[in-house]
Structure 1
Amino acid sequence: MRLERCTIRGRLALFTGVVVGLLCIVFSTVLLFTINRTATDNLTKEVTAVGELTAYYVDRGKLVDPLPPIPQNLIRPVQVVDPQGRVVAATRDLQNQPAMAHFTPKSPHRVASAVVCHSVFTSGRCHIVVAQQVFHNGDWTIYSAAPTLPFAVYPGVMTLLIAGTVIFTVAVAYGARHTVTHSLKPVDAIRAQLDHIQSTDLGRRVPVPMAKDEIYRLARSVNQTLDRLEDMLEQQRRFCSDASHELRSPITAIRVQMEYALLAPQDVDPTDLCNAVLPSVERLQSIASDLLTLTRLDAGVPYERRLVDLAELVATELNGHRMSREIVQHLATGVTVSGDRTRLGQLVSNLVQNAQRHASSTITITVRHADDDPRFPEKAAELEVLDDGAGVAADQRETVFQRFTRLDTARSRDAGGVGLGLPIARQIAESHGGTLTIHESAQGARFVVRLPLSP
């Protein structure tokens, strides 16, 4: 047996049924109360009419005991009390009984009514008692009464309301469940399709319903998420493939050197072997360091923010590198940003190393203020690294920021780069709230870093 209460359709049907049932109960209660109130008002008027008929006889001095005949449809308990408070006349059912009530109308009113219980009536029920005053040689009081009505004046109406409440509640609950079931069919189809989508088969997409409702937007969002997931998975596969390729080259070189040394140890000088193996080890160390940096950046490892002067940072990094190209510096003072000095230094170092690999003869480095970027509410700090090399084609300016991506010219002029420097530099810039992009230039590649300026 399925637990319908655990499903959306079951919960919604239950909630709808409960709400509709409560509304029907409230409506039935109000209706019965209104009917009871109307019937009570009519009964009170009828009792008042009986008293008025008796008052007519008292006013003309034609009082007899028992009281004179009353029309069959108006027979009610009636008593006549004289000015001294004695019951001088009554209907046959109240002969020799004390007064049924002791209240009198308040001036200027001549009629008053009240509900009286535990009086002279033999039924034990409460009665509606109407008191009317008549002046005939003093104030006489005529009391007329009738039993109060039960809450359900008409039992048939109450039965009809109960049956209608049950039928209407069940019908609405069933209709709600049927409607929700029909509406959720596309969701079931989406779920079934997602169950069949595996990590090796991300090309499938969930069905999109024709009606442009919430489920339509859900299916669109799911398909867009699957698109991004497929792109990320493809990027991850490409990343693993490229990383394996990059690691294979130095490992193979080290293996060849070591196997040669083992095959002919007498012909191998340890110093020459170390000198031959050391570049491959350094390349492995560089790749491992870059991968570790990317992992930390992807994980969002927090860093300590300090004020960093960009001009001073660039000068320090340039002094720490052996430059093979002419360096032209335009470093404005007072350009200060907030961030991690080590990471920002790595950003500058990666850009300088990239420019050095591709420049023909000259690298121009500029640090200045930039106030024309709408992405930064205040002024931004700008670092520009420009080389005079072949440059980057417009359709490849985003490609170079993908991991392990090297353009053909870079591969042919390989100087140790593995395609991680620029992705690391961009991620460092973005982690500091900035950007790294390639701009147009007359010659070469122009890399521009913009970071939020600190006061």
Structure 2
Amino acid sequence: MRRGLRDRVGGMSLQNRLAFFAGVAVCLLCLVFSFLFLNVAHHAATLKLIDEVTADGELAAYYLEHGERVDPLPTIPPDLIRPVQVVDPRGRVVAASSDLRGKPAMSRLVPQPPRRTATTVVCGHVLAPGRCDIVVAQRVRRGDGEWTVYAAAPAVPFYVHPWLPALLLAGMVVFTGGAALGARYLVSRSLAPVAAVQRRLDDIRNTDPSGRVPVPEARSEIHFLAGSVNHCLNRLERALEEQRRFSTDASHELRTPIAAMRVQIEDALMAPDDTDVATLSNAVLPSLDRLEAVASGLLVLSGLDRGAGEQLQPVDLAEVASMAQGGRSWTKTVVDNLAPGVLVSGQPSRLRELVARLLDNAERHADTTITLTVRRDYERLAQDGGFASGTAVLEVADDGDGIPPDQRESIFERFARLDSARSRDAGGFGLGLPIARLIAESHGGSLTAQEPAPGARGARFLLYLPLSSPPGQR
């Protein structure tokens, strides 16, 4: 049964569920209030009744205390007529109101000194079968001993009066229904912007990927939710556009060497007797090298996008730069300015690859000289690419034609190349710099192309990484 109720409630809409729970909560509060109110009303009515019953017996007690006659009882005012009995010290009823004549004492309760009155509840007995009465006993001192005057009245029922629980029940129904309807209305009004967002998202999914959800003017939670949804949609649209552009560029990059190899092989097949294997191999190998480079670059990008790699460890940036230069034949002069002990937290193989790709790019475009610099910078501010613990800086500069200022950011897009001297003819394939930037960002740093140093020419790339030790540990 409990599970069935839970399933039915779980199947409701949000506004119906909140209305249901609001109605239940108000109903429970009304029940608690009604119970407390009836208790207070019953207690107050009982105290009032005790005062009235006490007043009934006080007239007989007055005459008895002053030695007046007690049988028959003194005349009782019409508004004070209650069952009254007078009992002598030996426990005999010596006087009683007309409805109790000839009956035993209604109670054996006797107030104990110093109290003069006592109250009890008597059910059935001489008063009325099946009914409970409040009995007030008053102790009266007379010459021959202690006398007792009893007065009684029917006890107040728990509900006090029939109209009181009926009124409370009607109020509970009204308040419960009002709370449920009010909660449903308020939730419906509050969720109206959410419904609009949902409808717009459905439209975006089905027809218009460039659309955006409406943002309510009121700066509520839904306002910020809609803003976050639009931000996610912006990023998603950019990612999809980049994915489409990347797929197109990658297809083009792969198709170019494949087409070149096909032409060379088809020419060889058309004149097999005139084809030298060594010549054909030498003609095809550059295209295979280019295919291998593109495939390798795509695999590296895939690993960086997934966050794959070795564990982070302290790395000397100068040692990484030295290792990236080793084992290769340089066509240009490399000038090293490597400060030792510049430690960063990173993956050594990734950082070597980053430096190697910057050096490859510089070697393709330098005229005669490449300058490689590693240094610390504790004064660089965060807005300038710096870090609170200090900044490790790696700089690669060449003396080539340089990069136009308006293209210094676009060169980091995948498969992007300039139409000038830094072009496809220089041997690049448009993934080196994007890979280098991704490696920098995966280490918490940044890689940018900036103005050449004063008095210099060419391209200048700056890598900023956080030092692995704070300034106090220089």
Instruction: With the length of structure 2 as denominator, give the TM-score of the two structures.
Output: 0.89
Equivalent position of 2:439 in the other structure: 428
Is 2:189 aligned against 1:182? Answer: yes
Counterpart contact for 2:297–2:431, Cα < 8 Å: yes
Structure 2: where are the runs of 5+ without partners?
1-7, 470-474
CA distance in 2, matches of 1:291, 1:297: 10
- CA shift at 1:419, angstroms? 1.3
Match of 1:393 among 383, 399, 404: 404
1:351-366 alignment, distance < 5 Å: 351-366=358-373
Given that 2:63 and 2:69 are in contact with CA atoms closer than 8 Å, whether structure 1 keeps it comes out as yes
Deviates more, 1:189-198 or 1:374-383: 374-383
The correspondence of residues 346-425 of structure 1 with structure 2, limited to 5 A, is 346-373=353-380, 374=382, 375-410=386-421, 412=423, 414-425=425-436
What pairs with 1:36-435 in structure 2 (closer than 5 Å)?
36-65=42-71, 67-117=73-123, 119-137=125-143, 138-198=145-205, 201-373=208-380, 374=382, 375-410=386-421, 412=423, 414-435=425-446
1:221 Cα deviation (Å)? Answer: 2.5
- Quickly say closer, same or farther: Cα 1:66–1:271, change in 2 above 3 A: farther
* Secondary structure, counterpart of 1:209 in structure 2: coil
- Larger mean CA deviation between 206-215 and 231-240 belongs to 206-215
Query: What's the secondary structure of 1:145's corresponding residue?
Result: strand
- For 1:370, the aligned partner's letter is D
- Summarize deviations over 1:228-275 as a string: whole Å, max 9, x none: 211111111111111111111111111111211222211111111111
Give distance in 2, aligned partners of 1:389 and 1:129.
116
Following superposition, the deviation at residue 44 of structure 1 comes to 0.8
Rounded to whole Å, the distance in 2 between the matches of 1:200 and 1:412 is 39
The size of the alignment, in residue pairs, is 454
State the distance in 1 between where 2:406 and 2:87 align: 113
Deviation at 1:4, TM superposition (A): 9.6
- What are the Cα deviations for residues 97-142 of structure 1, in whole angstroms up to 9, with x where unaligned? 4433334334333222233445443333332222211111122222
**How has the CA–CA distance of structure 1 residues 405 and 196 changed in structure 2, closer, same or farther, with 3 Å as cutoff?**
same
Supply the distance in 2 between the matched residues of 1:120 and 1:302 (Cα, whole angstroms): 98
Indicate the larger mover: 84-93 or 286-295. Answer: 84-93
- Residues 1:395 and 1:179: Cα distance change in structure 2 (over 3 Å): same
* Equivalent residue letter for 1:453: L
The one-character-per-residue Cα deviations of 1:341-385 (angstroms, maximum 9, x if unpaired) are 111110110111111122222111111112123342212322111
From 10, 15, 28, the counterpart of 2:16: 10
Misfit runs of 4+, over 6 Å: none
Look up the equivalent residue of 1:447 and give its one-letter code. Answer: F
Contact 1:4/1:10 (<8 A) preserved: no
Cα distance in 2 for partners of 1:209, 1:332 equals 55
| 1:407 to partner: Cα distance | 1.7
State the distance in 2 between where 1:355 and 1:266 align. 43
Shift of 1:410: 5.0
Are the counterparts in 2 of residues 325 and 362 from structure 1 also a CA contact under 8 Å? Answer: yes
CA contact (8 A) 1:66 1:95 kept: no
Q: 1:411, CA displacement in angstroms?
A: 5.4
Structure 1 residues 396 and 139: alpha-carbon distance in aligned structure 2, compared to 1, 3 A threshold: farther
Q: Residues 43 and 369 (structure 1 numbering): CA distance in 2 closer, same or farther, change over 3 Å? A: same
Secondary structure of 1:6 counterpart? coil
Residues 147 and 370 of structure 1: CA distance in aligned 2, closer, same or farther (over 3 Å): same
The SS at the match of 1:347 is helix
Identity of aligned residues (%): 55
Deviation at 1:14, TM superposition (A): 0.9
Q: Distance in 2 between matches of 1:107 and 1:261?
A: 134
Q: Which residue of 1 aligns with 2:26?
A: 20
Once structures 1 and 2 are overlaid, which stretch shifts more, 277-286 or 337-346?
A: 337-346
- SS of the equivalent of 1:391 reads coil
**C-alpha contact 2:53 2:153 (8 A) present in aligned 1:** yes
Q: Cα distance 1:302–1:319, how it changes in 2: closer, same or farther (>3 A)?
A: closer
Classify the secondary structure of the residue corresponding to 1:414.
Answer: helix
Distance 1:49 1:302, change over 3 A: farther
Structure 2 SS opposite 1:208: coil
Q: TM-score, normalised by structure 1?
A: 0.92
Distance 1:452 1:411, change over 3 A: closer
Contact 1:250/1:281 (<8 A) preserved: yes
Which amino acid in 1 is paired with 2:253?
E
The one-letter amino acid of 1:439's match is Q
Structure 1: 5+ residue runs without aligned partners? none
Output the CA distance in 1 between the equivalents of 2:108 and 2:89. Answer: 12
| RMSD (CA atoms) | 2.3
